[in-house]
Structure 1
Amino acid sequence: MRRMPGAVRFLACLLGLWLLAPFAAGLLRLGDADWSGVDRAALSRAAGVSVASAGIATLLIGLFGIPLGYVLARGRGWWTALLGGAVQLPLALPPLAGGVLLLFLLGYGGPLGALGLSEHFAGIVAAEMFVAAPFLIIAARSAFAAIDPALEDVAATLGHRPGAIFLRVSLPLAWRPILAGLVLAWLRAFGEFGATVMLAYHPYSLPVFTYVAFGEAGLPSMLPVLAPTLGLAVLVMAAGHWLTRPLARQAPTRTGLLPPLAESGAAEAPPRHLALALHRALPGFTLELRLESRARRIAVLGPSGSGKSMTLRAIAGLEGMAGMQVRLDGQDLSPLPPERRAVAYVPQGYGLPAHLTVARQVGFAVDCVPDRAAAWMAALGLEDLAGRYPDELSPGQRQRVALARALSRRRVDLVLLDEPFSALDAPLRARLRREVLAVLRGMNVLTVLVTHDPAEALAMAEDIVLLDGGRIIRAGPAAAVFARPGSDLAARLLGAEAIGDGVVLPDGRIDVGQGVALLVGHPDGEAADLPPPGTRVRWSARPHQIRPMDDGAYPARILWRGAVRDGQRPMRLLLGDAELEILADPSCMADGPCRVSIDPRCLQIWPAA
């Protein structure tokens, strides 16, 4: 048992003792019980009425209350708040007051008095539903609200309609709290007196019979009447505890490193044509995005809150936007719900429902092809993990499951990856990146990758889109965007750290001060596309691309050398007029004059503001 604060233990025990004290007092009075004066037949009838009415009321509460709890958990707006408040009102009312209100509605002269529920078994059920329903509805609302909406979103992209998502994802994940709420509702209905005695005094329920017996014979008659009440309540609580116990799981098979995917020898699939026109205004944020691309793989970069995930969800059909347009190869996907967009969607966190094993996760799509699912499980090293649940998997294994599930559909046109490698350590992230790229290269799909990692974008994407504040600040082929970011912000999004100022010279070099002129190349080996001579520009190279060397092309001065970390030494050097933070070899020369080398193709150039 985990250690608990002493004050917490003391307070818990104090309340527990108070709750147990009345039962202990009742046991001490067993000798005073008048067992001979009890009308056993009437007691049995009353117990039967209470058990039956509480059971029927609980079934009706579950039938209507579980959907209501889901609506309250997923609904938005003033009407949801109003309905949620109304659900809790019966808890605030004295039971007799609740019975009076029911009389106004269901009694003689009430709007529904013609139903004849007063003084009838159905009236008992109606009264019990009124007072007990909040226990189930509140439990269901809390259970559904605790479910990650991404799980339902992923199910929609896998072809499931809303009703199927509710039955196959939401309800199975929420069933334990809901079952606990049903037990509480039954117990509340079983013990209800105030509303029942006002609306349906006859036939006697067990609480009403207890009240009548007390009025006729006093305390000695209470113990024989309370015995079946306590016994039935204990049985129901025990059954509820047994049904909500954690299920035993088979111990998972422990495996070593997952095998890598075989490199695909297939030729690159033909390019796809994506056209986006997205607009959504939210408090404090507006997404305004127009894009056309003919690349096979697109990477979307931007700071947190720039609209990256919202863009991906809009493409998948999970974000409703007025006037939205998503066209793929000329087909307008905008009117189609997510289940009809042929999307393979891997969200942040991977969206794996906790109640499904790996095998059931991979085969969860409506149009899953079993042979294809088996092939992906084999290719991604998941066969030995088929019986595991998500909480028994490492982050890398969960990523593979989500990818296998997404690609096991009969038809996939769009692969949408929302930071799929962000939770992985660096070696595993690099490995899975290579493997996923090998998978995608031979498929005739368009891949859109959301990432924070510029190296990941450059390694996987043909086109790069830079977002900030819901707007595109730069878009185009990856090499061109990296070479010419267009602004300081874009350069920093692409990982620029060592930044300096310069002037374009007539011979195509950049004068950075102190007589140093940097040679500029193009990543594709073409002639550098620089602004006209005399233009003031900003320039950058990655910290590890500026290398101190004895035969380097440019004179510089080392100003400071830091301690070696992870096999590299951080340094500050003066190159021209720019002070730059770089990463160098641990055996780098001492402070003072030096020479450095910079690959001309690594330089990023953009106009100075």
Structure 2
Amino acid sequence: MSRAPARPLLWLAALLAVYLCAPFIASIPEIGRADWAGVDWRATGSAVGVSVASASVATLVILIGGVPLGYWLARSQSRAVELLGFVVQLPLALPPLTSGVLLLFLLGPYSPVGMLSGGTLTDSFTGIVLAETFVAAPFLIVAARSAFSAVDPVYDDVAATLGHRAGSRFFRATLPVAWPAIRAGLALAWLRAFGEFGATVMVAYHPYSLPVFTYVVFGSQGLPAMMPLLLPTLAIAVVCAVLSVYSRNTRMSAAGVVPHDNGDEPAAPVAAALPADIDELRLAFDIKRRLGAFSLDVTWRPATRRLAIIGPSGSGKSLALRIIAGLEPNDAGSVTLGRTDLGALPPERRQIGYMPQDYGLFPHMTVTQQLAFPVDADAASARYWIEHLGLSTLTTRLPRELSFGQRQRVALARALTRHSQLLLFDEPFAALDTPRRRRLQQSLRALQQEIAAVTVIVTHDPDEAAQLADEVIVIEHGRVLQAGSVHAVFERPATLRVADLLGLHNIGEGVVRAAGEIQTAGGLVLATADRSLATGTRVMWRVSPRALRATPDGAYAGSIGGGTLRHGDRYVTVEVGGESFDIAAEDAPIMAADALRFAIDPGGVSIWAAGS
């Protein structure tokens, strides 16, 4: 539902709107005083033709050079390019006559360029085009620069991983996204060129363009004779305004409404035979990358096809994924998939599927076009995944007409249409609500069992890592804290920090005091059934929630603390001997007292050697 602007803003808007409309209204009574009989319609038509032709040619020149220049200015970080960006905007600040004088210094008949061209660059149609190009070009360049700056680089990244080279990525992904803003700048450039007077009259007084001809008639015959010449200009302005409104209404009607999710689960997986040599398909990487003060150093030789990289924000996990994809350079080390050295290949040749956090769907492409976009997209495979992922009713929709869950399925289908051997997922479910996220995680896990690709999931959600991976790497500040199978890492975290990142509870550090007995860092002495570790060994310990119970003759004094809710289950915190334990709420004492007695079953206390 649209919301009306605040009243002060409405008054200010109305005031400016009235001022802009007033000159047109004031001109209406003057029409009757115009000298229609004395109009030289042949000269007027010639002037209109010169202005339309010169503005069109100048705009074409501006388009051909201005779009690449705007892209260069938007993407370059060079200070020299920033200075160039300032210079190309100077014609906007200069008086038009000054611009004409500057052009005479360059193109005039007595300048080196003018003498070389025989003086043909002034007082000619070419001179008009050159003057209009100089004055009008900044309108397109500024619009193109802003448009390309606003284009998310993820589109270029995704296009690269789908097999497109730099030129194809620009013309098929980046330019179409930026085109609406560039088109608006192009229209402004044409209008500015059509109405240009100052620079044109200095560089090319002949042949007459419409603004120059209007000035000449006004100077020689006065206002009544000039009045009819305003009609072509006003007519063109009206046509441009109508086209602008029509274009805007067309875009609004095509936008549609983002639908609600009516089931984000794909159809039941269809069994598919895996290649006989699937066990040989393994991803291995040794990644070293420095970005300013941050450095990433991650090495892994996995034993399975499903890997998760887990860590907090800023830990380097997304950077590692981009290096695997070839979107960031690897300063040292290697990335291999089976016998293929991926590090030696550009991203467009790595045969991978890459899903960034927001899925990277191209806003100007329908679902069908998204799936046909990969260079080696297989039509039969696309049809299969459209049906398999429940997309058959969405094929003509644009991304803005899809729900988050539908976008995720489209991005997954697009990656799968090219038979990728490596699928990379960067926080694929971060933007979804919990119920939908759980459903899509289950769906992706089912697909992992079906497809033959290696999958790497980057996430900060331990449950997601445990569900979608067989092996996990825990990283922080660019370093590996622990790596191994999901079972081993979750059952025996190497440090308290790893346990914290994995969301584990009832875990702490301690020292073996005697066989079957440890002392925690908080001073609590725990008995354990594990007698394998020598006295004095630094250990990690874990107490099962079921091993701790309240009993009048318990060996430990304690108290009941606060409660928490995890995945719909309520837990109560118990303070015992300087350590905190979480137990299920139904196992907690009914009456919370200041002093209670607790027993801890040694069979529920597990210990293992602590990591460094």
**TM-score normalised over the length of structure 2:** 0.90
Provide, for residues 268-306 of structure 1, a one-character-per-residue CA deviation record: whole Å limited to 9, x for no partner. Answer: 941533332323322332223333323211110111011
Q: Which residue of 2 aligns with 1:127?
A: 131
Equivalent position of 1:523 in the other structure: none
Deviates more, 1:557-566 or 1:496-505: 557-566
Candidates 518, 524, 537, aligned match of 1:535? 537
Are residues 604 and 99 of structure 1, via their aligned partners in 2, closer, same or farther at CA, if it must alter by over 3 Å?
farther
Percent of aligned pairs with the same amino acid = 47
Q: Does 1:335 align with 2:344?
A: yes
Relative to 1, partners in 2 of residues 1:22 and 1:600: Cα closer, same or farther, differing over 3 Å?
Answer: farther
Distance 2:396 2:425 in 1: 25
2:232 to 222, 228, 245: 228
Letter in 2 for 1:119: D
Local SS of the residue matching 1:365 = coil
CA separation of 1:278 and 1:553: change in aligned 2, threshold 3 A: farther
Indicate the larger mover: 346-355 or 68-77: 68-77
Any idea what SS the aligned residue of 2:301 has? strand
1:389 aligned partner = 398
1: CA distance, partners of 2:150 / 2:65 = 20
The 5-angstrom pairing of residues 352-363 of structure 1 reads 352-363=361-372
For structure 2, which runs of at least 5 residues remain unmatched after alignment? Answer: none
Map of 1:60 onto structure 2: 61
Give, as a single letter, the amino acid of the residue that structure 1 aligns with 2:29.
L
- The verdict on how the C-alpha distance between 1:554 and 1:199 changes in structure 2, with shifts beyond 3 A counting, is farther
User: For 1:269-418, what aligned pairs fall within 5 Å after superposition?
Assistant: 269-270=278-279, 272-323=281-332, 325-409=334-418, 411-418=419-426
Task: Evaluate the alpha carbon distance shift between residue 236 and residue 322 of structure 1 in structure 2; reply closer, same or farther with a 3 A threshold.
Answer: same
Secondary structure at the aligned position of 1:383 is classed as coil
Is residue 181 of structure 2 the alignment partner of residue 177 of structure 1?
Answer: yes
TM-superposed CA distance for 1:417, in Å, is 0.6
Q: What residue identity is the alignment partner of 1:590?
A: M
Taking the aligned partners of 1:375 and 1:601, their CA distance within structure 2 comes to: 49
Q: Which amino acid aligns with 1:137?
A: I
Shift of 1:324: 5.2
- Partner deviation per Cα, 1:209-239 (whole Å, 9 max, x = no partner): 1111111012222211111111122213322
Q: Tell me if the contact between 1:561 and 1:591 (Cα under 8 Å) persists in the aligned partners.
A: no
- One-letter code of the match for 2:435? P
Q: Give 1:15's aligned residue.
A: 16
1:208 aligns with one of 193, 212, 223: 212
- For 1:476 and 1:517, the matched residues in 2 are separated by 28
SS at 1:456 equivalent: helix
Structure 1, 93-102 or 79-88: larger mean CA deviation: 79-88
Give 1:360's aligned amino acid: Q
Q: Contact between 1:117 and 1:123, CA under 8 Å: does it hold in 2?
A: yes
Please give the residue correspondences for 1:43-54 in structure 2 after superposition, counting only pairs within 5 Å: 43-54=44-55
Matched with 1:525 is: none
In the alignment, does 2:93 pair up with 1:92?
Answer: yes
Q: CA deviation at 1:199?
A: 0.8
Following superposition, the deviation at residue 382 of structure 1 comes to 1.2
Distance 1:378 1:27 in 2: 63
Residue deviations 1:233-286, cap 9 Å, x none?
221332243234434448899884244432758679415333323233223322
In structure 2, the residue matched to 1:262 is 269
1:462 aligns with 2:470: yes
User: SS at 2:281's partner residue?
Assistant: coil
3-state SS in 2 of match to 1:118: coil
Q: Which moved more, 1:45-54 or 1:456-465?
A: 456-465
Output aligned runs, 1:71-82, within 5 Å: 71-82=72-83
**Alignment partners' CA distance in 2, 1:271 and 1:321:** 24
Residue of structure 1 equivalent to 2:456:
448
Higher mean alpha-carbon deviation, 176-185 vs 283-292, is at: 283-292
Is the 1:281–1:287 Cα contact (8 Å) retained in structure 2?
yes
Q: Deviations over 1:324-351 (max 9, x none)?
A: 5212223221121111001011110111
**Which amino acid counterpart does residue 85 of structure 1 have in structure 2?**
F
Post-superposition offset of 1:61:
1.2
State the secondary structure of the residue aligned to 1:573: strand
Quote the Cα distance in structure 2 between the aligned partners of 1:351 and 1:541. Answer: 44
Correspondence for 1:517: 527
Distance in 1 separating the partners of 2:601 and 2:449:
32
CA distance in 1, matches of 2:554, 2:485: 30
CA separation of 1:490/1:501 partners in 2, compared to 1, >3 Å: closer, same or farther?
Answer: closer
Instruction: After superposition, give the CA deviation of every residue in 1:427-463 in whole Å (9 maximum; x if it has no partner).
Output: 3222222221221224332211101011221222222
The one-letter code of the counterpart of 2:413 is A
The answer to whether the 8 A contact 1:124-1:196 is kept is yes
TM-score, structure 1 length as denominator?
0.90
Aligned 8 A contact 2:470 2:486 in 1: yes
Aligned partner of 1:490 in structure 2 is 498
Q: CA 1:552/1:122 → structure 2, altered by over 3 Å: closer, same or farther?
A: farther
Aligned partner letter, 2:60: L
Q: Distance in 2 between matches of 1:255 and 1:559?
A: 43
Residues 585, 246 of structure 1: CA spacing in aligned structure 2 closer, same or farther, 3 A cutoff? farther
What corresponds to 2:31 in structure 1?
Answer: 30
Change (3 A) 1:135 1:571: same
- Taking only aligned residues, the RMSD between alpha carbons, in angstroms, comes to 3.0
Once residues 343 and 226 of structure 1 are traced to their aligned partners in structure 2, the CA distance between those partners, rounded to angstroms, is 60
Amino acid at match of 1:130: F
**2-structure distance, mates of 1:50, 1:187:** 10
3-state SS of paired residue (1:270): helix
* 1:564 CA displacement: 7.7
Q: Secondary structure at the match of 2:130?
A: helix
